[in-house]
């Protein structure tokens, strides 16, 4: 009888280890965002990748009116690194491209491509990976879209895991 208990306990232990490894792999996937679609190079970004890019900071109030400083990279620069059509190339049919930003909970927001291109707009839109100097928490990260001067905040998507560049039909 004791040998069955030992085998059962050993099996549970092994299953627990496998389960922890699976959770660790899932967490690692959630710590990145993919940029794909009408791009020259599909990018998988981690917060460490964004830390290597030139920094942009936007100070903004949260839902409780507490002010926070968000730091990240300008979205246009991130898109440029993926080979998205921007600046002088953004004309004709390319003006019909848009970004579909998706969060880990399924929340989605939409931006026209010229809206995030610094050659078209002076308003900053960043892919933030830090809030008040620290990496974003799990309920906010891995990335948070922050829009300078946006009167309403619903497009400031949290938990961003995907940015798809598409043509409008």
User: Options 3.90.420.10, 3.90.79.10, 3.30.1600.10, 2.60.40.10; which CATH number does 32-167 get?
Assistant: 3.90.420.10
Closest to 163 in 3D by CA, of 147, 143, 137: 143
Structure confidence at residue 91 (pLDDT): 87
pTM over 0.85: no
| 48 CB-contact burial (10 Å; exposed 0-12 / middle 13-18 / buried 19+) | exposed
CB contact set of 168 (below 8 Å; sequence gap of 6+): 96, 97, 98
pLDDT 10s digits, 36-65: 999 999 999 999 999 999 999 999 998 888
Positions of the chain with pLDDT under 70? 1-30
Q: Rounded distance, CA 146 to CA 94, Å?
A: 24
Q: What are the sequence ranges of the domains in the chain?
A: 1-30, 32-167
> Could you give the CA distance from residue 106 to residue 161 in angstroms, rounded to a whole number?
10
């Amino acid at each position: 009888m004791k040998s069955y208990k030992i085998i059962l306990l050993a099996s549970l232990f092994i299953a627990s280890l496998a389960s922890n490894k699976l959770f660790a792999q899932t967490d690692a996937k959630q710590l990145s965002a993919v940029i794909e679609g009408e791009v020259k190079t599909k990018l998988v970004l981690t917060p460490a990748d964004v830390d290597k890019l030139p920094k942009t900071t936007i100070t903004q109030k949260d839902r409780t009116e507490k002010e926070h400083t968000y730091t990240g990279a300008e979205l246009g620069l991130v898109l440029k690194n993926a080979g998205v059509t921007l600046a002088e190339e953004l004309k004709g049919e390319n003006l019909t491209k848009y970004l579909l930003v998706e969060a880990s909970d399924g929340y989605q927001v939409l931006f026209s491509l010229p809206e995030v291109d610094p050659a078209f707009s002076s308003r900053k839109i960043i892919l933030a990976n830090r809030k008040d100097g620290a990496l974003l928490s799990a309920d906010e990260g891995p990335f948070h879209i922050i829009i300078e001067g946006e009167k309403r905040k619903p497009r400031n998507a949290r938990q961003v895991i995907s940015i798809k560049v598409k043509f409008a039909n």
